[in-house]
Amino acid sequence: MRRLTLFLTLFLTLFPCLAACTAPSPTPPPRPTTPSTSFPTPALPSEASSPAPLPVSPEPRQSTATPQPKTKLVLITAGGAQAEITLATLHRAEEDFGWEVSLVQDTAPASVETAAQSGAAIIVIDEPLLAQSAQTIAGSYPQTYFIALQSGAGDVPPNMLALGAPRYDQTGFLAGMMAGFMTKNKFVAVIGDPNTPDGLKYINGFIHGARYTCPKCRIETIPVTDDTEADVQQVIIYANSGADVFFAAAGTPAEVIAKIAETGEWVIGSGEDVYATVFENGTKPGADQVITSVYLDPDAALYTALAAFHNGSPLTGNQALSAANGAVGIAPYRISEEIFTALDKHDVETALSRLADRSLDTGVDPVTGEEK
């Protein structure tokens, strides 16, 4: 018994916390909770929200296409002031259509063939004496387009356009319309040469145009002669008789035109802008009596032909210089709209459009100038 007691005493001495360690400990009281600010855990980026990868530019391809050569256009001319105007028209086409223009000042027939052999797509001949040679040469170069200005040629090859036979009757007709609108005395006059077809075109065209707008007007013709002083006296006689509007057809001397204005009558010029030439852009006395001028513009018809070629519909054959191809022009009006009204101008422009689409006829033979 004594040994048992000693054993227990020794055991408790060596292991004093055995009972306490094995006994259940009381549950600690709950900690008081305090409100806290919470932040959501950021979500990992998904594929949908990930930024798209930058596009990779493809390597530029090197073009293997061969540049197309420019359309080559050659003007053959003897030179002069008119040739400069024609060349300016060709340079306009060069800029508008991307062509290449060159000038040949050589009127020998061989120059036309040389231009064709050089690969020219278009050859413009601004020399009447070369028109016949160009007709023969054109037949041997069917891929080249030939345009002959101031040409009176007969039959032409299918790859050629001959611009000629000017419709002076159309310019005269428009001048007659203006005179019919302007006259207060119902008395107008035309100055021209009745002995030539071109003179007759002007005269008879004017007569028909004046009848168109002033059926009751008195219309007189003053034949132009080689005696300028005599022509001036005729103008004075008709002005004193009551003629208050005069049409000076192309070829009328400047002195005669100036005398019309000096007498205080109205002037319509032709062939050129007489306000700019005879009256030096308004600096000479009488310029305020100019209504306008009507004229033919061959270069306007030329540009029309070049534009048609560019559009794939080249004009061919013999064509007159006319309203149909834009060759009939009207210079700026030099008169107040209170006298020559906007309605008058509109009617003239309408007549010009109708002459162009052939719904209006001048009543004059376009070749002989005789009344139909």
| HEC letters along 163-230 | EECCCHHHHHHHHHHHHHHHCCCCEEEEEECCCCHHHHHHHHHHHHHHHHHCCCCEEEEEECCCCHHH
What is the pLDDT at residue 156?
87
What is the pLDDT at residue 45?
40
Q: What is the CATH number of domain 168-296+328-356?
A: 3.40.50.2300
Q: Domain 72-164 classified CATH 3.40.50.720? A: no
Distance CA 170, CA 356 (A): 10
CA of 64: how far to CAs of 58, 61, 71, in Å?
Answer: 17, 9, 21
Distance CA 28, CA 340 (A): 118
Q: What is the pLDDT along the chain (372 residues), one digit of tens a residue?
A: 445 454 445 444 544 544 444 444 444 444 444 444 333 443 434 444 444 554 554 555 555 555 567 899 999 998 888 888 899 999 999 999 999 999 999 888 899 999 999 999 999 998 888 888 888 899 899 999 999 997 766 788 999 999 988 999 999 999 999 999 999 999 999 999 999 999 999 999 999 999 999 999 999 999 999 999 999 999 999 999 999 999 999 999 999 999 999 999 999 999 999 999 999 999 999 999 999 999 999 999 999 999 999 999 999 999 999 999 999 999 999 999 889 999 999 999 999 999 999 999 999 999 999 999
CA proximity to 201, closest of 365, 369, 370? 369
Distance CA 248, CA 256 (A): 9
Domain residue spans in the chain?
Answer: 72-164, 168-296+328-356
Q: Measured at the alpha carbon of residue 61, what is the angle toward residues 57 and 64, in degrees to the nearest 5?
A: 170
Tell me phi and psi for residue 233, to 5 degrees.
-65, -35
Amino acid identity for residue 184 in this structure: K
Distance CA 249, CA 260 (A): 13
- Pull the structure tokens for residue 51: 């930024």
What is the pLDDT at residue 68?
64
pTM: predicted TM-score of the whole model, two decimal places? 0.78
Residue 251 burial (C-beta neighbours within 10 Å; 0-12, 13-18, 19+): middle
Question: Beta strand 187-192 with 218-223: parallel, antiparallel or unpaired?
Answer: parallel
Give me the residues paired with residue 103 across strands: 75
Q: 155: helix, coil or strand?
A: coil
Tell me phi and psi for residue 318, to 5 degrees.
-90, 125
What is the pLDDT at residue 19?
44
72-164 and 168-296+328-356, same CATH topology: yes
What is the pLDDT at residue 366?
93
The helix/strand count (H/E) of the chain reads as: 11, 12
